């Protein structure tokens, strides 16, 4: 297993966000975010590249992984650790061909059938959700905890539960079998993002698993 994949295996807290200030990134990465994904669906390539380079630099400074959403063609140019694709984006096979064997490829899943199909693909992790209804995915029904439990039993790669996860429902997500979570609004809309990141990281993993350099 490569060092990058070892870090993914150890990851517990994954942030998905659009362009953010350097101060925000530094605060949440220092507080325990293990993976950060930049998602800028409608931005021009130049904007994505500029933001992605900042994200890559911030992640590297804090020992975290940086994933670029839906743009495998920009991964090498931006220094990302990998790419994340959805069910309606470029296929995993095509994304893998673009980024190569050493970088990470992730896939969103929303049904048991998609979790099963992912097991046969050349990918490194899956997202499972949305667990709860969330405005970041308008029109997509919540999958509930049942899909989390299914992934815990059947997924052959690490999975991150995602969708409306917050401290008040995280224990139930963990009880359903999730060892890793991905969040959006829990951090981007938090009054104190660093404090919230630290709280989520402590809730999702034992202190003994804290990332090196996390405090």
The full set of domain ranges for the chain reads: 3-206
- In this prediction, residue 208 has a pLDDT band, given cuts at 50, 70 and 90, of very low
- What gap in Å lies between CA 210 and CA 75, rounded to an integer? 27
Tell me, rounded to whole angstroms, the distance of Cα 54 from its chain centroid: 17
pLDDT, residue 140, reads 75
Which residue in 29, 124, 130 sits closest to 83, CA to CA? 124
The half-sphere exposure of 73 on its side-chain side, counting CA atoms within 13 A, is 6
Res 1: pLDDT: 86
Q: What does the pLDDT read at residue 46?
A: 98
Residue 213 has pLDDT above 50, yes or no: no
pLDDT tens by residue, 166-183: 999 999 999 999 999 999
Provide the percentage of residues in the chain whose pLDDT is more than 70: 94
Amino acid 211: pLDDT: 47
**Radius of gyration (C-alpha) of the chain in whole angstroms:** 16
Does residue 53 surpass a pLDDT of 90?
yes
CB contact set of 24 (below 8 Å; sequence gap of 6+): 188, 193
pLDDT of 134 reads 81
Q: Is the pLDDT of residue 125 over 90?
A: yes
Q: Give 88's contacts (C-beta < 8 A, 6+ positions apart).
A: none
Name the pairing type of β-strands 35-38 and 65-69: parallel
Q: Is 164 left (phi over 0), alpha (psi -120 to 50) or beta?
A: left
Give the mean model confidence (pLDDT) for residues 205-210.
Answer: 57
In this prediction, residues 195-211 reach a mean pLDDT of: 80
Least-confidence region, from 53-57, 134-138, 153-157: 134-138
Give the confidence band of 206 by pLDDT, cuts at 50, 70, 90: low
Using one digit for the tens of pLDDT, what is the confidence trace for 61-73? Answer: 999 999 999 999 9
Q: Which CATH class is domain 3-206?
A: alpha beta
């Amino acid at each position: 297993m490569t060092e990058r994949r070892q870090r993914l295996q150890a990851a517990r807290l994954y942030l998905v966000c659009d362009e953010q200030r350097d101060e925000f990134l530094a605060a949440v990465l220092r507080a325990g975010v293990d993976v950060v994904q930049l998602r800028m669906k409608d931005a021009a390539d130049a904007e994505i590249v500029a933001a992605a380079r900042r994200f890559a630099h911030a992640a590297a400074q804090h020992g975290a992984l940086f994933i670029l959403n839906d743009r495998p063609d920009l991964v090498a140019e931006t220094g990302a650790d990998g790419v994340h694709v959805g069910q309606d984006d470029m296929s995993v096979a095509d994304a893998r061909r673009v980024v190569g064997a050493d970088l990470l490829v992730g896939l969103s899943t929303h049904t048991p059938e998609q979790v099963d199909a992912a097991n046969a693909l050349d990918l490194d992790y899956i997202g499972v959700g949305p667990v709860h209804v969330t405005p970041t995915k308008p029109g997509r029904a919540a999958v509930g905890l049942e899909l989390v439990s299914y992934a815990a039993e059947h997924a052959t790669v690490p999975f991150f539960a995602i969708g409306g996860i917050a401290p008040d429902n995280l224990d139930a997500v963990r009880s359903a079998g999730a060892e890793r979570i991905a969040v959006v609004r829990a951090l981007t809309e938090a009054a104190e993002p660093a404090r919230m990141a630290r709280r989520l990281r402590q809730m999702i993993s034992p202190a003994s698993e804290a990332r090196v350099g996390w405090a």
